[in-house]
Structure 1
Amino acid sequence: MIAEVLSQLGEPFTGEELFDHLSDCVFFIKNTEGQYLVVNKTLVDRCGVQSKQDLIGRTAEQLLRAPLGARFTDQDQRVLRTGKPLLSQLELHVYPSGAVGWCMTTKLPLKKPSGAVVGLVGVSQDLRVPNNEAEEYSQIAAALKHAKENLSAPPSVAALASIAGMSRYQLDRRMRRIFGITAGQWLMKARIDLAEGLLAETNTPIAAVALEAGYSDQSAFTRQFRMTTGLSPREYRVARSSKE
């Protein structure tokens, strides 16, 4: 039924005009080379360019100075090579404009009827900002406050659920409604947020930053930080300092 409707359109439906009206969401379609074919206005703004044409036909690595674009290229090539989607990955993005923000990224392969991958489509949705005055938030506020005050020795999700007077399942469900992420993802985000601030705003040694953020050693911290941002802590510090 949907194929019948789409076949009657004068131009292929890409979703571009729809996503142009979503300022909290980056949208793109890429070919097998990882080059942008379709983008929305939000991506244009965050890349600090003048128009969509400044992005079309270019790859993330061509737009983002090294090593910022490598993470996106690696993601793209993994989806294109395997044909398997990247689903709801929590990431901290650093854009050429200097903007930094958390989002949930999903990339889906585009396939021919034969199954051959011909490109990908992706979105990166900004994390929602919770209403701290809402009753739902007040029911978990004590648990979140406890976590933020003890990030150097971060509590478990089970401990946070106990403080909130909930089961782990109930806490996760509440966190998804308020933040759009699980309790475990929120806890990881809080630790990386602390580390990100120390890296960007202080000269604190990276080993000390790792301890402050609750990592037992610098290598474990570096692995998690790179997985989340695409950069090592040292690379992130350099990237942020160049925007000052």
Structure 2
Amino acid sequence: MSPLLQHPLVKSLFGLFEHMPELYFFVKDEEGRFHYANVALIERLGLPNREAIVGTTDFDRYPREIATVLLSSDQEALETKSPVVDRLEVLYNQVGILEWFSTTKYPVLTDSGKAVGVVGFTRNVSKQRNLYLQHSAASKVIDFISRNPDCLLTIEDLARKFSISSRQLHRQFKELLGITPQEFVLRSRIHAAAATLRSSDESIASVSEKFGFCDQSAFTKRFQKVIGITPAKYRKNSG
């Protein structure tokens, strides 16, 4: 067993969080590598077993922009040696839809006071809109695009639709997700396109057009940047 998992703080939380389906519990080292996740988190990530997450990082399962935000809160807990409490985060679920989570992280400290990891838990707060009213316009845009990824409205159109200036919308997205509204819309379309490729026989050219790409070449280039492989290879691997 990893020495990190033998720390008194970590051991005291195992039994508490292991069988709580509404909470996702995890332990990471100072490099952001997972050492443990409870059953609920393993299932949410679609992993076959607990061993599949050990040694991986958020960069192995989330876009770089989102993984960077998650890592920064890990580093905040490690550097300040203080908990990060109820930090609002937005993560993709298994079908490429963004959901809202509230995360709390505690630094794991040795007897000498050195921070060697973080232990934390996160919960889905997608239905609790009052928790993010501060960013209500951005949250409405996120919800709208997540549910309508084939909508081809421009960022200016979306800003007008939800009564906010394009500049304010850009600022709120950067604060919440660390990315621009344009990047969010692009990634949402790519993830929705990936879901379509998995679940239908629709041609790649047709999927490309459906989600607003001017030609299949541009779609393939963007898809590979976000997903890591070409649409054709993705469909083959998903078959």
Pick the aligned partner of 1:209 from 158, 173, 181: 158
SS at match of 1:67: helix
Deviations 1:148-167 (A, max 9, x none): xxxxxxxxxxxxxxxxxxxx
Q: Structure 1 pair 74/194, CA: closer, same or farther in 2 (3 Å)?
A: same
Q: Give the distance between the partners of 1:227 and 1:76, measured in 2 at CA.
A: 17
| Residue 133 of structure 2: aligned partner | 187
Contact 1:27 1:40 in 2 (8 A): yes
**Greater Cα shift, 100-109 or 120-129:** 120-129
Matched, 1:196 2:142: yes
The answer to whether structure 1 residue 238 and structure 2 residue 206 are counterparts is no
Q: Following TM superposition, by how much is the alpha carbon of 1:97 offset from its aligned partner in structure 2, in angstroms?
A: 4.5
Q: Distance in 2 between matches of 1:210 and 1:99?
A: 21
2:62–2:92 Cα contact (<8 Å) kept: no
Displacement of 1:26: 1.4
Correspondence for 1:70: 68
Distance change >3 Å, CA 232–CA 34, structure 1 → 2: same
Overall identity of the aligned pairs, in %: 23
Q: When the two structures are superposed, what TM-score results if normalisation uses the length of structure 1?
A: 0.64
Q: How far 1:61 moved relative to its partner?
A: 0.8
Q: Which runs of 5+ in 2 are unaligned?
A: 1-5, 193-239
Match of 1:103 in 2: 101
Q: Do the aligned residues in 2 keep the contact of 1:68 with 1:94 (CA within 8 Å)?
A: no
> Deviation at 1:76?
1.3
Could you tell me how far apart the structure 1 residues matched to 2:183 and 2:140 are? 17
The verdict on how the C-alpha distance between 1:34 and 1:70 changes in structure 2, with shifts beyond 3 A counting, is same
Alpha-carbon separation, structure 2, partners of 1:17 and 1:98 = 31
TM-score (norm 2): 0.65
Partners of 1:80 and 1:186 lie apart in 2 by 26
| Cα shift at 1:37 | 0.9
- 1:213 maps to a residue whose letter is F
Bigger mean CA offset, 196-205 vs 36-45: 196-205
Match of 1:229 among 148, 156, 177: 177
Cα distance in 2 for partners of 1:113, 1:195 equals 46
C-alpha separation in 2, matches of 1:99 and 1:52: 24
Cα distance per residue 1:22-45 (max 9 Å; x no partner): 222111111111111111122222
What is the alpha-carbon distance in structure 1 between the residues aligned to residue 84 and residue 77 of structure 2?
7
RMSD in angstroms over aligned alpha carbons?
A: 2.8
SS at match of 1:28: strand
SS at match of 2:19: coil
- Out of 19, 36, 39, the residue aligned to residue 38 of structure 1 is 36
The structure in which a higher percent of residues are helix is: 2
Q: Give the total of aligned pairs.
A: 183
Distance 1:99 1:22 in 2: 23
Consecutive unaligned residues of structure 1, counting only runs of 5 or more, are: 1-5, 130-178
| Partners of 2:186 and 2:44 in 1: CA distance | 19
CA contact (8 A) 1:80 1:119 kept: yes
Distance 1:43 1:189 in 2: 27
Q: Does 1:19 align with 2:8?
A: no
SS in structure 1 at match of 2:105: strand
Deviation at 1:46, TM superposition (A): 2.4
